[in-house]
Amino acid sequence: MIPAALLPVPKIVPVLDPGFRPAVLARHAFAREATIPVRIALEQADGSVFHHDTAVLAPEHPHAAANGFFVERLAKFLLWTWGGRRFWFQGPKALAEALAVHYRDTPTGRFDSEIIGERIYDGPIEVVHTAELPPAKSSSAPLGRHLDGCRIGFDLGGSDRKVAAVLDGKVVFSEEIVWDPYFQADPQYHISGIQDSLRRAAAHLPKVDAIGGSAAGVYVNNRVKVASLFRGVSKEDFAKHVQDIFLDLRREWNGIPFEVVNDGEVTALAASMSLGVNSVLGVSMGTSTAGGFVTAEGNITSWLNELAFSPVDYRPDAPKDEWSGDPGCGVQFFSQQAVGRLIPLAGIEVDASLPLPEKLKHVQKLMSEGDARAARIYATIGTCFGYAVAHWADFYDLSHVLILGRVTSGSGGDVILEGAKQVLAAEFPELAAKIRFHMPDEKDKRHGQAIAAASLAQVS
């Protein structure tokens, strides 16, 4: 049990979720008591190494038993935000050993080890206790911003796929089509759906010079490493038909430049392009929660930025992510899943069998009619989002935050941003003075990622 003193009650309590205990407040409360230095490095397969310095409670501290919890939650955040499979741990050996046991023997730890370690970085997560960390090493690279010629951009979400045709930087066609990819076992469902959108966009262009796409998941050199969109596909079919799906599509489109990246990266790119600014964290609140970051130089890093799996709520009984089973992760607070979770708490009655997109549409309709119950759902999301932004700001050099995605459509998006701003003003005035929130117009909310994706591939 984590002591209440280390799980502070927020100054602004989410109206429908009073038990919410923000990660940022818990970490700060823990840090004020911590005196034993701990240094952590996370190593990626390409040799990139990222450092983070923290501290834990002394053995004689009355709450020292909480050390393992706070170390594991921090490691979880670093793992899904930075990416990597080898932790270098400079600090108490017992904590390093406990972290290794977590990734080896617990269900949530094994999930992280399989998805992040084995499927992305080709090996289980390792925790190495060391007296000295390996040197920090990182790189960044430019992304997209190519709008010459005839281009197609697409964005694959869990409830719809979007596509745009772009001619010399001007959008000549955009479309959104409902689909249901999550639990489709037949890879052909995905292949046919993507091809259909590409062909529909191509019909509005004299030719196609390049194709760019974004989708939830991790993509390396256009190969699918892991993606929730394909969770229904068997391992055998994934390896045979899905892993190289975009390489196969490129061949079918005569080998033209074809680039696919994580949807969070394209969210951040869309923000940077439309606003003309950098140091941008983009957060897409759709079927899941996607994140991406554009550095002060206008580049992207090798970080994963998988904010859906990053803990934002430290209460032990926080709502659990449906895929990993881990409590307190971002997807349960900033997505259609969050809306579905909050609907009964708001006193709104809907058919429980309705899919999440239909539940969201119902809430949006109520919101447009001035229903106070719907407003409380968005206010709750906004309050939690404000604390999450403060949490992320401890790790990202943020100046701008942009939100988009289906959840932000309509007036609910304004309520979310207002709630986040109120949190920063009340709890983190220095961040309130530094960070600017942005939201695209209604069309860009729904299609901005597909348009930015069109700029990914460079035409020689």
pLDDT in tens, 239-250: 999 999 999 999
Q: What is the pLDDT of residues 190-214, one digit of tens each?
A: 999 999 999 999 999 999 999 999 9
Right CATH number for 141-265 from 3.40.1190.20, 1.10.260.40, 3.40.50.2300, 3.30.420.40? 3.30.420.40
The confidence score (pLDDT) of residue 273 equals 86
pLDDT higher than threshold 60 for residue 365: yes
Report the chain's mean pLDDT, rounded to a whole number: 93
Q: What is residue 77's predicted lDDT score, i.e. its pLDDT?
A: 97
Q: What's the CA gap between 29 and 459, in Å, rounded?
A: 51
Which among 72, 39, 70 is positioned nearest to 54, based on CA atoms?
Answer: 39
Q: Where are the domains of the chain?
A: 34-129, 141-265, 272-443
272-443 matches 141-265 in CATH topology: yes
**Which burial class, exposed, middle or buried, applies to 323 when counting CB atoms under 10 A from its CB (0-12, 13-18, 19+)?**
middle
Among 54-58, 277-281, 442-446, top mean pLDDT goes to: 54-58
The rounded percent of the chain whose pLDDT value lies above 70 is 98
Q: Which residues pair with 152 in a beta bridge?
A: 165, 211
Is the Cβ–Cβ distance between 394 and 27 less than 8 Å?
A: yes
Note the pLDDT tens digit of each residue in 417-458: 999 999 999 999 999 999 999 988 766 655 667 788 999 999
Q: Domain 272-443 class? A: alpha beta
Give the gyration radius of the chain's Cα atoms.
Answer: 22
**Residue 347 CB contacts under 8 Å (≥ 6 apart), including other chains:** 373
User: Which tokens belong to 245?
Assistant: 């799906």
Mean pLDDT along residues 45-65:
95
Q: How far apart are CA 380 and CA 387, in angstroms?
A: 11
